[in-house]
Structure 1
């Protein structure tokens, strides 16, 4: 039996490095050697327990790029019909769909009613903080184009698919839109990027970190406001100066902090849209005035669990933009599997733009 290393969450706030079995792929599946495992803010919420109770033990990581080690019986293409072979680099959607449930076939929505988000760490596993990922039948993966820079794709991990999912749910950004993005972590940076390439007229980004605000400007933001240096009233005044009296036509919540929600409702202009993406892991409530929603004729949408097509779109958008924007440089730290706790702490502290697990270290 072959074994590989994996970062395993044994219980809340306890992560260990295990040697786990490496299993041949099932028919329709694939075994990949992980090249990069993205470290996501959701992982921080999972490990802390903020995202709810998890099964234990589980291999962490839901963002991955890997090199095909072995293909299961019947597999000679990726999920877009592109031929694949051992040695090819692939990017995968971390939820296997059953294609035999109401969500899959009637609603055409994710998550699938029968999805398994985590598997026991000692069973065949698709967690990406590991040497190998076992992709079951139904877990969509896509071959990277030959000229793709894996760093550029991994830099926005699940954030770019999440944003594309959010704009599908809440309506796309178009030419002339004025956009506010709350938070300049990976989801916020992805929202800035998509808004910029979609023709938004003004894009204002809010964050505590000046470094993150600077990165947002490099990806297309037109103004940056520090949460650390302004009060809510000061932010409203500055935003009004930038966007004018009509305010924001689109506000994207990518902060992952509960107080962002009532402020986002307040910042959304008349007839505007508020798209909530970052609050998946922050369980709790915040007060808002329902009357504001009617007076502004505004729409609020939430989005999570990007579809396979959003991963495909993200892959090709990142490759298309990799030379135009400094995507690869968003990866701020590379850490070994055994340093997973350090990687999570970097994300939690806000000190990192995007850490990744590199199993070769």
Structure 2
């Protein structure tokens, strides 16, 4: 990405790993909705030029000096498949060592495109010393891990930060993109009694049902009042105990706060790239005993948990089938357009194409 709305394909050197690092041949690079927000400029100014892609599964090409295990202590060697947490943490800050929170004050999300780089819209990813990566279990399907890319770690981070879904909870998920689908998946595994998904794309709503949703509400042909009626008819007058914002559009925020039932939680996960403001009634927070929380930038442990969860559930749920479109590196603009239009459930960059 050279500047806003300008993505090009460059040839750059492939560099050996530094001591403690790794060089990985990318197998699949997920195309995320936040990538589209970055390219459009909606997510703010970036340190151009950058290599896009923060959802990578790859095969170890070379290990740096001293590297014999992944970041969970599992032995690793050239040829193994790995999945990495794409934020370069400093490990020497208050957030890193005292709060144990991400990102830290010195986190680096992108590197200059002509320098060694961990972006996954590429043939190779160069993982610096300190960037956590994990070896995939032998039976894991790369597509199953890539399907929910950073979405599943984001949801795990959100429930970790804002409180988990419990048995018997009634859940509404705004949006059936990858973050919304990951929220459905985790809520279903957690024993939620109702999981209602709101979206406008029928294909996405169908996928949500395959991952554990119990009902859907279409944005098409309904207004906010009608959607609220459908939700409350389903869960009862108390309203949903958990609402997850995964729509990524500002107008979803006041609707989600309004949907959340008494003593409930509203967890905001999708609005990272939507800069702006939206109005809600503060009185509602008091009269409903409402909690609103947000989360982003998963910790390395959330990537580790997501990888193993996907590997365990890949035969029970159609995770690998969520990868609906594959694009060559040179087709990155087409991949981004597929995300923006909602035409793809989950597009990926496949460097072999």
TM-score (norm 2): 0.99
Q: Quick one: distance in 2 between partners of 1:14 and 1:26?
A: 31
Is 2:183 the counterpart of 1:191?
Answer: yes
How far does the alpha carbon of each residue in 1:205-240 deviate from its partner, in whole angstroms, 9 at most, with x for none? 000101100000000000000011211111111111
Q: Which residue is equivalent to 2:168? A: 176
Structure 1 residue 74 displacement after superposition: 0.7
The answer on 1:88 being equivalent to 2:60 is no
Measure, in 2, the Cα distance between the counterparts of 1:307 and 1:330. 24
Alignment of 1:24-63 (within 5 A): 24-63=16-55
> What do residues 285-310 of structure 1 show as CA deviations (whole Å, max 9, x unaligned)?
01110000011101100000000000
Aligned to 2:239: 247
Residue 118, structure 1, aligned to residue 110, structure 2: yes
Alpha-carbon offset, residue 241 of structure 1: 1.1
Structure 2 unmatched runs, 5+ = none
Q: Is 2:99 the partner of 1:107?
A: yes
Where 1:271 maps in the other structure, the secondary structure is coil
Q: Secondary structure at the match of 1:142?
A: strand
Q: Does 1:205 align with 2:197?
A: yes
Runs of 4+ in 1 over 6 A off after TM superposition: none
Number of residues paired by the alignment?
Answer: 353
User: Which structure has the highest strand share of the two?
Assistant: 1
Q: In 1, Cα distance between the equivalents of 2:184 and 2:107?
A: 30
Structure 2: distance between partners of 1:350 and 1:178 = 27
CA distance in 2, matches of 1:103, 1:87: 34
Q: Tell me, in whole angstroms, the C-alpha distance in 2 between the residues paired with 1:159 and 1:179.
A: 18
Q: Which of 257, 260, 267 is residue 249 of structure 2 equivalent to?
A: 257
SS in 2 for 1:15: coil
Matched residues in 2 for 1:165 and 1:22: separation? Answer: 33
Task: Describe the SS at the equivalent of 1:14.
Answer: coil
Q: Secondary structure at the match of 1:34?
A: strand
Counterpart in the other structure of 1:148: 140
Counterparts of 1:223 and 1:327 in 2: how far apart (Å)?
Answer: 19
Q: CA deviation at 1:245?
A: 1.1
Partner SS, residue 65 of structure 1: strand
Q: For 1:49-80, what per-residue CA distance to the aligned partner results, in whole angstroms no more than 9, with x for missing partners? A: 00000011111100000000000011000000
Q: Where in structure 2 are the equivalents of 1:256-275 lying within 5 Å?
A: 256-275=248-267
What do the CA deviations read for 1:72-110 (whole angstroms, capped 9, x no partner)? 011000000000000000000001222110000111100
1:11 counterpart residue number? 3
Structure 1: 5+ residue runs without aligned partners?
Answer: 1-8
Correspondence list, 1:129-148, <5 A: 129-148=121-140
Equivalences for 1:276-295 in 2 at 5 Å? 276-295=268-287
Query: Hey, what does 1:76 align to over in structure 2?
Result: 68
Q: Is residue 325 from structure 1 mapped to residue 317 from structure 2 by the alignment?
A: yes
TM-score, normalising length from structure 1? Answer: 0.97
